[in-house]
Amino acid sequence: MTIAIPLFVLILALVATAAGAVGWALSSARANRSFVSASQEAMSWREQAAMAQARADRLVEENDGLRERSRADTNVLRALSPITQQLDQVTSHVQRLETKAASQHAEVVTQLRREAQIGAELSQNTASLNAALRTASARGRWGEVQLRRIVEAAGMLEHVDVDLQVGSARFARGAKDSTLRPDAIIHLPGDGHLAIDAKTPMDSYLLAMEIPAEDLASVSERAELLGKHAKAVRSHVSALIKRNYPADFPQSPQVTVMFLPSESLLAEATQTDPTLLEYALSNGVVLASPASLLAILRAIASVWSSAALTFEANEIVELGRTLVDRIGTVVSHLDKLGKSLGKSVNYYNAAVQSLETRLLVTVRSFSSLQPMAATQGETKLGPPASVAGDSAQIKEFRAPEFTQDQH
Lowest mean pLDDT among 28-42, 171-185, 195-209, 353-367: 171-185
pTM of the entire structure?
Answer: 0.47
The predicted-structure confidence for 120-150, as pLDDT tens digits, reads as follows: 776 666 665 565 556 666 666 777 788 888 8
Q: What is the mean pLDDT of the chain?
A: 76
What's the angle, vertex CA 8, arms to CA 7 and CA 13, rounded to 5? 95
DSSP letter for 158, please: B
pLDDT at 275: 92
38-47, 304-313, 343-352 — most confident range = 343-352
Please state the rounded mean pLDDT for residues 28-40.
70
**Would you tell me how many other CB atoms lie within 10 Å of the CB of residue 197?**
24
pLDDT at 175: 43
pLDDT at 163: 79
**Residue positions counted in the chain:** 407
Edge to edge, the sheet with strand 285-288 lists 162-164, 184-188, 192-197, 256-259, 285-288
The predicted-structure confidence for 229-248, as pLDDT tens digits, reads as follows: 899 999 999 999 998 888 88
Lowest mean pLDDT among 153-157, 317-321, 374-378, 396-400: 374-378
Closest by Cα among 138, 120, 137 to 129: 138
Please state the rounded mean pLDDT for residues 255-276.
89
pLDDT at 172: 44
Asked whether 121 and 264 are in contact (CB, 8 A), the reply is no
Asked whether 364 and 378 are in contact (CB, 8 A), the reply is no
pLDDT at 400: 62
**Distance between CA 150 and CA 295 in Å, rounded?**
10
At 190, is the secondary structure helix, strand, or coil? coil
Q: Which runs of E-coded beta strand occur in 172-224? A: 184-188, 192-197
Q: Which residues on adjacent β-strands are paired with residue 158?
A: 162
* Phi–psi pair at 285, nearest 5 degrees: -120, 125
The predicted-structure confidence for 8-18, as pLDDT tens digits, reads as follows: 666 766 766 76
Q: How confident is the model at residue 226 (pLDDT cuts 50, 70, 90)?
A: confident
Identity of residue 16? A
pLDDT at 35: 67
